[in-house]
Amino acid sequence: MKFFADTADTAAIKDLAATGLLDGVTTNPSLIAKSGRDFMEVTKEICGLTDGPVSAEVVALDHETMMKEAEVLRKIADNVCIKVPLTIDGLKTCKALTSEGTMVNVTLCFSANQALLAAKAGATFVSPFVGRHDDNGFDGMSLISDIRLIYDNYLFETQILVASVRHATHVLESARIGADVATMPPAVIKALANHVLTDKGIEGFMADWAKTGQSIIK
Ligand code: G3P
């Protein structure tokens, strides 16, 4: 399963890229606003921090303007992935862009039927929002299972990019189901390494090692 960072914070992206665990980045208008930076400038910088796809979202709601915005965005770098909302205009834009070989992430997916449409539109990625689904009394992970089943039934190549990930259990369940990607806030990616028994084990080994009076590096 690929790990994308769901952020426009370049310091956090650099930090994660250095671990070798980062496979790409997703942004959205809210994350760009949070960064306080110029959209084009920060997106270009992010594209230079990873070889993987970097999702940059259109803000138009109609197909013609989405195409014009995509034209500007895709010139930023070869690894830009155009993010479009799951609307009829977004799907039309997705079809047009992927037919030309441009990567597209169809976002704001909240139902398996919407995911079916994204696949039929040739999406590179579909982004079901599990956290927001849970927040509204639905079961985010059962949505991922349904999409996996449907995509496998028809051999769709659209990758399931689990978004709105809030905690480690979302990641674990995504991996169990066989989602292709999880995009997560950097803190969630780092928290996956935490375990109380790992900390306790290190503490014990360090205490015993100190008793030997030895050092590995002379
Ligand atoms: O980037 C889309 C998605 O991951 C947003 O997550 O936490 O705002 O629901 P959240």
| Own/partner pairs, 13-21, CB within 8 angstroms, 24+ separation | 13/46, 13/49, 13/50, 13/186, 14/49, 15/186, 16/186, 16/189, 16/190, 17/49, 17/50, 21/189
Please report the atom of ligand 1 found closest to the CA of residue 127. Answer: 2
Location of structure tokens 């991996």: 175
What pLDDT, on a 0 to 100 scale, did the predictor assign at position 20?
A: 96
Distance 183 CA to ligand 1 centre (A): 9
Q: Is the CB of 29 under 6 A from ligand 1?
A: no
- Cα of 49 from ligand 1 centre, angstroms: 21
Task: Read off the pTM.
Answer: 0.96
Distance 163 CA to ligand 1 centre (A): 6
Q: What is the pLDDT of residue 72?
A: 98
Q: H helices of the chain, where?
A: 10-17, 29-35, 39-47, 63-73, 88-99, 112-120, 130-135, 140-154, 168-177, 186-191, 196-212
**What residues are paired with 183 via a beta bridge?**
4
For residue 96, what pLDDT is reported?
Answer: 98
In this structure, which residue's CA is closest to atom 7 in ligand 1?
164
Distance CA 152, CA 154 (A): 5
| Nearest residue to 4 (alpha-carbon basis) of 94, 91, 105 | 105
Q: Which residue's entry shows tokens 């890229």? A: 17
The angle at the Cα of 113, spanning 32 to 149, to the nearest 5 degrees, equals 100
Rounded to whole angstroms, the Cα distance separating 196 from 183 reads 25
The structural domains of the chain, ordered by start, are: 2-212 (3.20.20.70)
Task: Spell out the per-residue pLDDT of the chain, length 218, in tens.
Answer: 999 999 999 999 999 999 999 999 999 999 999 999 999 999 999 999 999 999 999 999 999 999 999 999 999 999 999 999 999 999 999 999 999 999 999 999 999 999 999 999 999 999 999 999 999 999 999 999 999 999 999 999 999 999 999 999 999 999 999 999 999 999 999 999 999 999 999 999 999 999 999 999 99
CB under 8 Å to 37, separation ≥6 — which residues?
Answer: 8
Report the pLDDT value the prediction gives residue 152, as an integer from 0 to 100.
98
Six token digits for residue 105: 């992430």
Sequence-distant (≥ 6) Cβ neighbours of residue 3 within 8 angstroms = 21, 22, 23, 181, 182, 183, 184, 189
